[in-house]
Every structure is written in structure tokens, then in C-alpha cells.
């Protein structure tokens, strides 16, 4: 397999994607056809595929901590941490190690098995990376899977994170290539592809997804899924974010995405990436229990867990525990718990 993710051009046929597996190439028109299926048929197909690869009642719990908040020089139209927008988020220095470890311990005590650390950087400097490497080593020593999202990575930086013990690196594509410049102008799509290639090349698992509800069309949502599904290999984790509109950002005030369209997006992600962890990420607080339940039925099997995602709100731990119990779902065990037979 190639370690370099492939930039898939919307509309190309399977034969034109030389680097993608012949039996797993997804032209955009095929993905649109999935979106267009009757809702019950789409969910039935997604649930069948989900059951082929996972315990359908298991949900992975991941906690996300902002280790460096605000002051980002990028112009991502959805992001309250961009320095150029007046959103009430103030720039802060990187958190001390003890604060990060306390948050990791609390996450583990509440059942999380993966701990994600996010920093509002365009790309980390070497002195920044040294601090993150120490965090990765210490969090991993607690028995948690580690994930980081630090922006673009330069030559050798992914290898350093791998040596520190990083399990996953998150770097979202955000949206389809043809819609990208409507959302971000301070970096281009290939920058994201290059970072994902460095992550793969270093032997770190890829966490990569996008945001829906940013004014894109269904065709463009299909284009995002095509980008993800045609990576070789596709990401092990696929976070699907529902836009949380923040006053002061350019995307504030958009008409909200129909909730069932979000559920369709989850189902299509499950069908096209059968063995990936499809994660309900930002926006769950606005969804309500019924929509979340449909997302689990559609093949979502991971959630961000905890009362905050970087700077935006998330359901309380007790709310999530109650919802999982109501639906008869259980949390994925840690490796330690699995060995103990818990």
C-alpha cells in the first residue's frame, strides 16, 4: 500500500485512481447514489456493514483537551480560535504537563480510552513539539491511546511524535476540494494531504474527517467522503463534525443542516469506510438524543466525551452515560480492562 494519501478528483472513474485499491475505489457519483437512497434502505445497508466489522453495541469514548487555545493565524471560517475573529476566545499559552495529566486521569476514570490533545497552531515549532512529546509519553503511560492535532507537520516532526508513542494524529480535510476555498484561504488542500502523508509515512494511525453544515451541497459532502474513502488506506478514525455556529465567525448565521442529512452522512461514511471508527464529534449538544440514536444506528461507534471540545460545548458526561444506557450501548474497554475481563 502507498503511504501517501491520494488527492481524489471529483467525478473521476475508478480506473483513473491508480493509487486506490481497485476493489475499494469510490467515484463521487457512486457516493451521491448512496446519499440518494431511501432513508431506511441506507441505514439498513450501513447497519449491516457495521455489524460485519464491529460489535454493534460498542462505542469508543474519546476525550479532547485544548492544550493551547486561541491565537491561531489561520482563517478557517468555522473556528472561534482564529485570531482575526472576535469570538471572545483569548490566546493562551500551552498548558503545563500536570494540568494535562490531571485531565487525562479524569477522562480515563470516566471511561475514555483515547485522549486527544489539540493546539491552535498553524504548525508546531520544535520547542512546542518537545512539550507535546512529553505529554504523549506521560498520557500513554496512564494506559490511554494518544492522539494529537497540532496543525501542519514539517519534515521529521511526525517521526518525533511516533517515537514519543503517539497512536493517532488528527488532521481533518474539513470539506471537498472544490468547496475548500470558501472555508479557508490561508492554506490549500494539498497542505493537508502532505501532512497526512507524513503521518502515514511515520507509521502513525490517521484520524481524519470533516465538517458538514458549512453551506456545502450534497454533492460536495459526497466529495469529502470520496476524499476520505479513497485514501490508501482510508483513515482508522473518521470524525464527522456538525458545524457549531459561533458568533463572530464568518459561518455564523447559516441555515442549519437538516438533521437527517447529517445521519445520511454518517451512514455513507460507514458504508465507504467499513473498518473505520466513525466518530460523532462537534455538534452533538444541538442534535438531541433521537438524532444521536439514528447516528449510532447508521454506524457511528465513537464519540467525543466530556463537557467541552476545544472551545465549544459538548454533552455532560452524565448525559452521555444516560443516553448510552437508554440505547443499550456500552463503552469500549481499555486494553487493561480487556485483559482483566471487565
Res. 38: pLDDT tops 80: yes
The torsion defined by the Cα of 150, 154, 156 and 160, in degrees rounded to 10, comes to: -10
Long-range contacts of the stretch 328-333 (C-beta < 8 A, 24+): 328/57, 329/57, 329/58, 329/59, 329/296, 330/57, 330/58, 330/59, 331/58, 331/59, 331/60, 331/61, 331/111, 331/113, 332/58, 332/59, 332/60, 332/61, 332/113, 333/113
Q: What length does the chain have?
A: 342
Do residues 156 and 201 touch, judged by C-beta distance below 8 A?
A: no
Residues with a catalytic annotation lie at 72, 76, 79, 116, 147, 207, 279
Res. 15: pLDDT tops 50: no
Give me the chain's average pLDDT, please: 86
Grid cell locating 259: 438533521
Residues 307, 329: Cα–Cα separation, whole Å: 20
Poorest-confidence range of 57-71, 88-102, 143-157, 306-320? 306-320
Minimal CA–CA distance to 172: which of 246, 281, 255? Answer: 281
Give the Å distances, CA to CA, from 321 to 13, 35, 54: 44, 31, 20
Q: Which of left, alpha, beta for 164 (phi over 0: left; psi -120 to 50: alpha)?
A: alpha
Minimal CA–CA distance to 176: which of 199, 151, 213, 210? Answer: 210
Do residues 139 and 107 touch, judged by C-beta distance below 8 A?
A: no
Residues 221, 210: Cα–Cα separation, whole Å: 9
**273 in helix, strand or coil?**
coil
pLDDT attached to residue 237: 97
Res. 308: pLDDT tops 80: no
pLDDT-derived band at 71 (thresholds 50, 70, 90) equals low
pTM for the predicted model, two decimal places: 0.87
Give the Å distances, CA to CA, from 75 to 86, 224, 250: 12, 20, 9
Residues 182, 75: Cα–Cα separation, whole Å: 11
**339 in helix, strand or coil?**
helix
Amino acid at each position: 500500500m502507498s503511504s501517501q494519501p491520494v488527492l481524489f478528483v471529483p467525478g473521476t472513474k475508478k480506473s483513473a485512481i491508480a493509487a486506490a485499491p481497485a476493489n475499494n475505489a469510490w467515484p463521487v457519483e457512486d457516493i451521491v447514489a448512496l446519499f440518494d437512497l431511501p432513508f431506511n434502505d441506507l441505514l439498513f445497508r450501513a447497519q449491516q456493514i457495521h455489524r460485519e466489522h464491529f460489535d454493534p453495541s460498542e462505542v469508543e469514548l474519546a476525550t479532547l483537551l485544548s492544550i493551547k487555545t486561541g491565537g491561531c493565524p489561520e482563517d478557517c471560517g468555522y473556528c472561534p480560535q482564529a485570531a482575526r475573529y472576535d469570538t471572545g476566545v483569548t490566546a493562551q499559552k500551552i498548558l503545563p504537563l500536570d494540568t494535562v495529566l490531571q485531565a487525562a486521569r479524569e477522562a480515563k476514570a470516566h471511561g475514555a480510552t483515547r485522549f486527544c490533545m489539540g493546539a491552535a497552531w498553524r504548525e508546531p515549532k520544535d520547542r512546542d513539539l518537545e512539550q507535546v512529546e512529553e505529554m504523549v509519553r506521560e498520557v500513554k503511560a496512564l494506559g490511554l491511546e494518544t492522539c494529537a492535532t497540532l496543525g501542519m507537520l514539517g519534515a521529521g516532526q511526525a517521526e518525533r511524535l511516533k517515537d514519543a508513542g503517539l497512536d493517532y494524529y488528527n488532521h481533518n480535510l474539513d470539506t471537498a476540494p472544490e468547496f475548500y476555498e470558501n472555508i479557508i484561504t490561508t492554506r490549500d488542500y494539498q497542505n493537508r494531504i502532505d501532512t497526512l502523508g507524513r503521518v502515514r509515512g511515520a507509521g502513525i494511525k490517521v484520524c481524519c474527517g470533516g465538517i458538514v453544515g458549512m453551506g456545502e451541497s450534497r454533492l460536495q459532502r459526497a466529495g469529502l467522503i470520496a476524499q476520505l474513502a479513497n485514501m490508501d488506506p482510508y483513515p482508522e478514525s473518521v470524525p464527522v463534525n456538525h458545524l457549531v455556529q459561533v458568533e463572530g465567525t464568518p459561518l455564523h448565521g447559516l441555515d442549519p443542516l437538516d438533521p437527517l442529512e447529517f445521519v445520511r452522512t454518517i451512514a455513507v461514511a460507514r458504508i465507504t469506510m467499513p473498518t473505520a471508527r466513525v466518530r460523532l464529534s462537534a455538534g452533538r449538544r444541538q442534535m438531541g438524543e433521537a438524532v444521536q440514536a439514528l447516528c449510532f444506528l447508521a454506524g457511528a461507534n465513537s464519540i467525543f466525551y466530556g463537557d467541552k471540545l476545544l472551545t465549544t460545548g459538548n454533552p455532560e458526561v452524565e448525559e452521555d452515560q444516560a443516553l448510552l444506557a437508554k440505547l443499550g450501548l456500552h463503552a469500549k474497554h481499555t486494553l487493561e480492562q480487556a485483559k482483566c475481563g471487565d
